[in-house]
Structure 1
Amino acid sequence: MMKIGLLDGGDGRSKHSPKVGFQVVRWAKPQVVWAKLNIDGSARSSPGPSGGAGICRNLGGDLIFAFSMGFGVGSSNRAELHSVWQCLSMRRSPGLSKVVVESDSSFVVDLVNRTAIPSWAWDHWRKRIDEITISGSFSFSHIPREVNGPTDGLARLASATQGNSAYFVWADLPRDIKGLVLLDKTRLGAVKEIP
């Protein structure tokens, strides 16, 4: 981890800011027989126009499917949960039974993993997700926001346009999302600030 101190050049005396560290974080490929779903939700205000996205990839980091979908007015938590449900529903068609689901929302991961007690407003979403995950092997994990770049980009697009798109070929993804998926596949990583 690299630490950086800042100097004040105005009076010649050193003034150090709090030290900030940086860490390289990478999207990790799933195990051999598993697929990986990265999920994200986005709301332009709270509540406001919301949308979500998911990207499913195999061991090689190749695209199995991706989607972006506008969800109307809502919160980012609702959009994130709706994205989990939507993506798990879509995975039925390719017949994926062993799936790692990653989200940068600790709220959603805790809710689905039952490490948080839901309010009545969120229990409905957890039950809908439980109905899908009962048939298969699923693992839900929290990841840093910096590792979820491609999905974040698709979710922001969906919340802005309220459009719906499905992608089954890498070449059909929006240009900037293609680049982010390729960076994940090559495992170059992103930089995360650590206080």
Structure 2
Amino acid sequence: MYFNMKATKILKQDLAILKRLDILISTPKAKRVSLVKWLPPCSNWVKLNIDGSSLGNPGPAGAGGVIRDASGHMCAAFSVSLGQDSNNYAELKSLLEDYWDELQVCLDRLEYSMSHVFREGNAVADYFAKEGSRGSSMEWFEDRSLPNQLRGLLRMDRAGIPYLRISS
């Protein structure tokens, strides 16, 4: 007869006894913790962070984004409600929604780069995307009109305060 147990900490002598009794021990994989933070663009550049959200997957979906300058100050932000759909659809629409044609015109005249950012380094855009999932389709052009929690996230990013990313 074989038994299987999960254990986080076990003494060598106990391990020997369990082995003689044919009881297998499996230890959970250690979680990795890393620091992730929002990085500002170079001087004279702006950065567009976007995100998509689906509450339920599929469920109420939204997209959001924020444009910030090199000092981390918000230039503009948006949230868009996308109806009922998946998180993958919302992620893609966050790039394409309403701004793609305008973005293409600008990109033809500008130098730019694109890269992936972990959710923890994209907290502000994530917040706007969730607002879209909750039915909000809005644009903001000054941070004084933003909720306190969101203004706090912007301040944390400007200060370079990292977020914890926990993965297996």
Deviation at 1:87, TM superposition (A): 7.3
CA distance in 2 between partners of 1:87 and 1:174 (Å): 24
Deviation at 1:78, TM superposition (A): 2.2
TM-score norm. by structure 1 comes to: 0.66
88 and 59 in structure 1: CA distance in 2 versus 1, 3 angstrom threshold: farther
2:5 is matched with which residue?
none
State the 4+ residue runs in structure 1 displaced beyond 6 angstroms: none
Secondary structure at the counterpart of residue 138 of structure 1: coil
Secondary structure at the counterpart of residue 154 of structure 1: helix
Specify the structure having the higher radius of gyration (Cα): 2
Secondary structure at the counterpart of residue 39 of structure 2: coil
Deviation at 1:26, TM superposition (A): 0.9
Deviation at 1:86, TM superposition (A): 3.9
| 1:16-165 alignment, distance < 5 Å | 17-86=28-97, 88=99, 133-160=107-134, 162-165=135-138
Q: Which of these residues, 165, 171, 193, is aligned with residue 144 of structure 2?
A: 171
Unaligned ranges ≥5, structure 2: 1-7, 16-24
TM-score norm. by structure 2 comes to: 0.76
Post-superposition Cα deviations, 1:131-155, rounded to whole Å, max 9, x if no partner, equal 6633422211001111111111221
CA distance in 1 between partners of 2:72 and 2:119 (Å): 18
Secondary structure at the counterpart of residue 158 of structure 2: helix
Unaligned ranges ≥5, structure 1: 1-5, 93-128
Quick one: percent identity of the two aligned structures? Answer: 29
Post-superposition Cα deviations, 1:163-186, rounded to whole Å, max 9, x if no partner, equal 211111111112211111111110
